Amino acid sequence: MNYKGGASPLFYMDPTASSPVADLHAPAHWRCVDLISDLHLQASEAATFEGFRAYLNRPVAERADALFILGDLFEVWVGDDLLDPTVEQPGHGDRAFWRLCAHALLAHSEHTPIYFMHGNRDFLLGPAALARCGMQGLSDPAVLVLHGQRYLLSHGDALCLADTDYMRFRALVREPGWQASFLARPLAEREAMAREMRRQSEARKASSAHDPDLWADADLAAVREALQLSGCSTLIHGHTHRPADHDLGGGLRRLVLSDWDLGAHPPRAQLLHIGADGAQRRALAMTAGI
């Protein structure tokens, strides 16, 4: 089957499902899917982008049947006009980088569907950018039904209840009024605001880097409640940059995706591969090809 377009027409939501989250049923011919998150693509991190582009450029026969991106694909996203070449200005090389990312994603989507869930860094990515990247948007959370198993998918930031400062910020920036006001500003002003917010975020992370116990993690009571309400036994999420498999007891588990940083020592780049045998973690090969 030669797939064309940004989303498989056989992948559908079941609005009659008992779960309050609509079920996403994989078509019967799907063998496996890949899930990734927290690549934080940016022009200054060329190694990570090149690794991701190599992954996207694999021969079709070697790919999973679909790619799920669970947020923070991009380090920052300040509006879909980032992909508009008519707004290019000297000194704004990052804008060319975003178009390069979109081109790589769109080429991959010509044969392999890509599903995208917003993260805390790219929550402003809108319908125009989804179309330019060949991606279909997913709500957070979403339920994937594959090989008879139900997987609850989330970026994960909404579960980090102990990070009260961030939860207040998240509530503010997810308001339609705030987003409309922000997107009405000139692109260069939005970019400057994003740089300042990133600077503050990095400063906060640096202040707690010496003690991982200070990093907010998903609230386990909230995780269990989400699994029970959705009728799932496995939650898959990113955001925390703490890849691990957690046994929550009672047949419940939490699988945390890895972030990607191919410029780190050692480099980090891992995906979660789900097939008939369940979920397996796979590292991105750092040799020629993937």
Ramachandran bin of 134, using left for φ above 0, alpha for ψ from -120 to 50, beta for the remaining angles = left
Cα-based distances in Å from 20 to 15, 184, 193, 240: 9, 34, 36, 25
- Render pLDDT for 105-139 as a digit per residue (tens, 0 to 9): 999 999 999 999 999 999 999 999 999 999 999 99
pLDDT attached to residue 201:
72
With residues binned 3-state (H G I as helix, E B as strand, rest as coil), the percentages for the chain, rounded to 5, are: 35, 20, 45
Locate the domains of the chain by residue range: 21-160+218-283
pLDDT digits (tens, 9 = 90+) for 11-43: 444 444 445 677 899 999 999 999 999 999 999
Q: Helix, strand, or coil here: 48? A: helix
pTM (two decimals): 0.90
Give the list of residues 6+ apart from residue 58 with CB closer than 8 angstroms, or none: 289, 290
Domain 21-160+218-283: homologous superfamily in CATH: Metallo-dependent phosphatases (3.60.21.10)
Helices (H), the chain: 46-56, 93-109, 127-133, 164-173, 176-183, 187-208, 220-230
**CA dihedral for 52, 53, 58, 60, sign (positive or negative):** positive
Q: Write out the two tokens for 270.
A: 């891992």
Q: List beta partners, residue 35.
A: 68, 272
Task: Name residue, tokens 């609005």.
Answer: 15
Pairwise pLDDT comparison (176 vs 23), residue with the higher score: 176
Residue 205: the pLDDT is: 64
Angle at 231 between CA 119 and CA 172, to 5 degrees: 30
